[in-house]
Amino acid sequence: MKIELKKILKTYKNQTVLENLNLQVNRGESHVLLGPSGSGKTTVLSIIAGLAKQDKGDVLIENQNVSSLSPDKRKIGFVFQDYALFPHLTVFENIAYGLRIKRIEKSRIEKRVGHYLSRINIEKEKDKFPHQLSGGQKQRVALARTLVTEPEILLMDEPMSSLDPLTKERIGEELKSIQREMGITTIYVTHNQEEAVSLGNRVSVLHHGKIEQGEAPDELFSHPKTEFVAHFVGANNILNVSLVEINPCEAVVRLCNEGVERSVEIRVKKYPILEKKLKDINLCIHPEKIMLKKETDPVNGKLNRIKGRIVNETGNGHGIKTTVDIGGMMLQAVVPKYPFDFKLYENVWVCFSPDALHPLCGKRCRSPKAFRACLNINESAVLNIKG
């Protein structure tokens, strides 16, 4: 089922939670709403499900305005963050509850519940009560209880937030398989970037009740459009630059970030936005695209290099997150753990390719077409950088 939200406004106690929000989810799509706590993700689900009423705007399902329909008329299944299982009912009875409310005959209930017990691998737990289940088992029961009613839309509100990483990965794979198998339109809410990449055909990032950017996961994480999205997905090296000169293949820009104590010029890909010679242009670069070299190491002449000093090192699962002071401005690089032979307060070269940077298009990118144009040197773009 296709879902559309048009110009949704929602306030609670004079506080705006959603503001002029537009969202389209295509039939059969797995769409992830990604954002920090308080960004409005759960409110979006509640409005789609009919559990909350928007102040303005329309909710359309298959081009039909359902804003006035009660939740039971919308054919929507909702998996809650806390599972909401009935403690006095067994696993079988919890899953069968929705069917019994609909007065489905007993033989059909047993058949359908049996199918989902098997499909979600909880047959052995059918006679247990919720307090006897692990977190992963409770999650499976909540999912089976929702799917057994055969909804046309599935809404999931951070259903794996309390699970351990291994269980989360296993259930995530099962969710993907079930979603593809059933072809059910799914909206999944999370603040976890790895879940978003794993589960979504598309990802929309929410911030202060508005969608900052909506893209395929790979595109969103590799080319964030706004400063907020860049920080949220980890591309948190934001370079404010001004144009120095444009050459046939590249442009030369100068860093203008507050705190930079010396003139630093770098070469970047010749993006059309640079040709407009605007005074305020923001570029971003992922920490993983930055290399560190010893002062005495040779550096490929095709790379940018900036002299810096390591001021912090933090290990994580992917490498060593290293903060480098390049003369009053801090850049972050993620360097492989093996070999890692840099010392704290050591002077280094910060190196990166000219095409490792890409432009941001202001506080909120209002035009995906314009953003694509500013990335493609064969297209032109009229961008309001302050937008």
Residues 60-69 have pLDDT tens digits of: 999 999 999 9
Assigned domain for 366 exists: no
Last residue of a domain, one of 213, 229, 245: 229
Last residue of a domain, one of 198, 229, 260: 229
Task: Report the pLDDT value the prediction gives residue 370, as an integer from 0 to 100.
Answer: 46
Q: Which domain holds residue 317?
A: 230-359
- Residues 186, 270, single domain; the answer is no
Assigned domain for 381 exists: no
Looking at the structure of the chain, the number of domains it has is 2
Assigned domain for 114 exists: yes
- Residues 171, 270, single domain; the answer is no
- Residues 248, 199, single domain; the answer is no
Assigned domain for 364 exists: no
- Residues 173, 137, single domain; the answer is yes
- Residues 313, 217, single domain; the answer is no
Helix/strand/coil for 189:
strand
Residue 53 contacts residue 47 (beta carbons within 8 Å): yes
Last residue of a domain, one of 229, 254, 271: 229
- Residues 116, 61, single domain; the answer is yes
pLDDT in tens, 317-360: 678 999 999 988 899 999 888 878 889 999 999 999 999 999 98
Assigned domain for 384 exists: no
What H or E segment, with its residue span, contains residue 91? helix 91-101
Which residues have a Cβ under 8 Å from the Cβ of 318 and sit 6 or more positions away?
288, 334
Q: How many residues does the chain have?
A: 387
Assigned domain for 377 exists: no
Task: Report the pLDDT value the prediction gives residue 249, as an integer from 0 to 100.
Answer: 85
**pLDDT < 50 regions, the chain:** 364-387
Q: How far apart are CA 306 and CA 9, in angstroms?
A: 47
327-332 contacts at long range (C-beta below 8 A, 24 or more positions apart): 327/260, 327/261, 327/262, 327/264, 328/259, 328/260, 328/261, 328/262, 329/255, 329/257, 329/259, 329/260, 331/237, 331/290, 331/306, 332/236, 332/237, 332/287, 332/290
Tokens for 31?
Answer: 């769409």
- Residues 193, 103, single domain; the answer is yes
Tokens for 116?
Answer: 């989902």
Assigned domain for 375 exists: no
| Backbone phi, psi, residue 229, to 5° | -60, -40
Tokens for 335?
Answer: 């360097």
Task: Report the pLDDT value the prediction gives residue 275, as an integer from 0 to 100.
Answer: 74
Whichever domain contains 245, its CATH number is 2.40.50.100
Q: How far is CA 275 from CA 265, 279, 365, 375, 381, in A?
A: 17, 11, 19, 12, 10
Task: Report the pLDDT value the prediction gives residue 236, as an integer from 0 to 100.
Answer: 86
Task: Report the pLDDT value the prediction gives residue 362, as an integer from 0 to 100.
Answer: 58
- Residues 165, 247, single domain; the answer is no
Whichever domain contains 107, its CATH number is 3.40.50.300
- Residues 218, 242, single domain; the answer is no
Tokens for 247?
Answer: 């050459």
- Residues 125, 254, single domain; the answer is no
Assigned domain for 383 exists: no
